[in-house]
Amino acid sequence: MSTLSRRQLLLGAIGVAGVGSVTQLLGSCSSSNSQSGDAAGLLSLPPDIQIVQRFPGLLSPGNVRVPISLANQQGLLTVDDGPLPEVLTAKLLSAENKVVVDSLSAAKHNNGLPIPYWPFRIDIAEPGIYTLLVDGGPKDGAAIQILLDSEISVPRVGTKLPGFDTPTFSDHRGVDPVCTLTPEPCPFHDTTLTAALALAKPVAYLIGTPAFCRTGVCAPALEGLIVASKKFGDAIAFVHAEIYTDKTATTVAPAVEFYAMSYEPALFIADKTGVIVDRLDGVFDSDEIIERLSALV
């Protein structure tokens, strides 16, 4: 794919709500079984609630991460819009409207983010079209497409994280600035991804641009990774790569081309053997990053 078409794909895929061209509001009317408060402290969802997909359409069979946010007719709900459920519950339906998983739950995340999200983790074994039906949410739910492994070019969970000579402070490799986080660049440009993978320790590799990310979540993602790095120190190697080659944001960086990325941000988490054990796409906060990295140390 050419640089221009890759950039068009990146820009065209990114929306204010989250990630990918799949980001959309689903359902303008809620189902009749509105969620009510219960002993677990779950709050009722408003009658005009809508589901916002915060994940790209590049999911393959396995344990799938499906983050969602909530919205109404006025837009995405933020932390300033009053109390929101600490936990959302849901079920997964097949294309034939049969229940595949009947009990799912996701805790609210919003550390450093103005828009809360709920990341569902679902085991889905077969490719196909599914529906996440949130209790008290829209009757049409949120569509989830699971692709064949062969249809996905972005590195997947269970595969080796490909090494790449990412830009460093000592060698920008044609990317300037090497990091757009302000007022100071992040500390994850002392070594390349290739060198980090050779250290025989877990690796957290973020692709995203704080300055030019149209979703508004790349800067919080990088800031969350900095928080995580202070907790884990040298036990984990942290690497960051920008999306564009310069401040004009007109040419995508080699890191994007190398992984065939069509969305941002993405955090690849590999174990000490270099195998990807998790991939956080679209939206994630420091709490979720720390939770996922804790399993490796």
Domain boundaries, the chain: 15-149, 193-294
Superfamily of chain region 193-294: Glutaredoxin (3.40.30.10)
Residues 30-72: tens digit of each pLDDT: 333 333 444 334 567 878 899 999 999 889 999 999 999 999 9
Structure tokens at 92: 């997964």
How remote is the C-alpha of 248 from its chain's centroid?
A: 25
Cα atoms in the 13 Å half-sphere on the side-chain side of 156: 17
Can you give the pLDDT at residue 214?
66
Strand partners, 130: 144
Give residue 46's pLDDT: 78
What is the pLDDT averaged over residues 202-230? 92
Identify the DSSP state of 244: B
Domains 15-149 and 193-294 are alike in CATH topology: no
Rg of the Cα atoms in the chain: 19
Q: Give the separation between CA 187 and CA 191, rounded to whole angstroms.
A: 10
CB 236 within 8 A of CB 297: yes
Distances (CA, A) of 297 to 58, 167, 195, 219: 28, 27, 20, 25
Cβ-proximal residues to 246 (8 Å cutoff; 6+ apart), any chain: 175, 176, 177
Residue 207: its pLDDT value, please?
Answer: 97
- Of 125-139, 213-227, 265-279, the poorest mean pLDDT is in 213-227
Mean pLDDT for the stretch of residues 207-214: 90
The CATH number fitting domain 15-149, selected from 2.60.40, 1.10.3470, 1.20.1070, 3.40.50 = 2.60.40
Torsion of the alpha carbons at 287, 290, 295 and 297, rounded to the nearest 10: -160
HEC secondary structure over 22-55: CCCEECCCECCCCCCCCCCCCCCCCCCCEEEECC
pLDDT digits (tens, 9 = 90+) for 6-35: 433 343 333 334 443 323 333 333 333 333
For residues 156-182, give the mean pLDDT: 97
Nearest by Cα to 52 from 79, 36, 28, 83: 28
* Lowest mean per-residue pLDDT among 58-72, 90-104, 207-221, 254-268: 207-221
Percent of the chain with pLDDT over 90: 77
